Structure 1
């Protein structure tokens, strides 16, 4: 249930300190990892779940181009598969393609350059990612 589904009385009750503490405690594991992807390094979305005593992690990375030009943005994917982008913070999308289409609609001027992509814009090898920590 989201805040949009609540009436004023329910929303007021949900915002009381004891209700907020309970909600934070109930979502502690998700909140503990909420900022993991925001601290530099490779742009990856990490989804985590516990299932029958097993810990599941799904790391998703994207290499996106528009008209051959890199579209270097940080995307996250939630456990329901919805895609989020900080440039459009109040939206989520069922696919990365849908998100990029909306970004083109909203930020059209950013995509209007006629200059070709320079090979070094993407680095020497766009498929190599340094994960650190040795081999």
Structure 2
């Protein structure tokens, strides 16, 4: 009987300690909105100009996807449309003097070759990103 009561008391103390830690942690959380309440309008951020680079940008590491060396403000990628294909598709890349979409983009998840662009690679800007001339938010220590 004493063992049963001791187990219950120990469990209650552990539960109380975890609830206390959760309350303390919740008080330390700060919103990305800073001190603004949910009703207040946040200021919009300043848009940076996208950089262009003839010949592209150097890659930071071996398997890095190429960075987009041109503006993409007016490009559209949706379930039905991908304007990147106007220049980078197998059919158009030579005429447009643009890099061709890589062979890896024509493989399914099992490594089988497809006749069309894999649906897993349809949303180009998930990996291929435009560049802006902006100061880094944090110091870059990658590769040191």
Q: Which bracket does the TM-score occupy, shorter chain normalised?
A: under 0.3
Larger RCO of the pair (alpha carbons < 8 Å, separation 6+): 2
Structure with the higher strand share, 1 or 2: 1
> So what's the TM-score if we normalise by structure 2?
0.23
TM-score, reference length from structure 1: 0.24
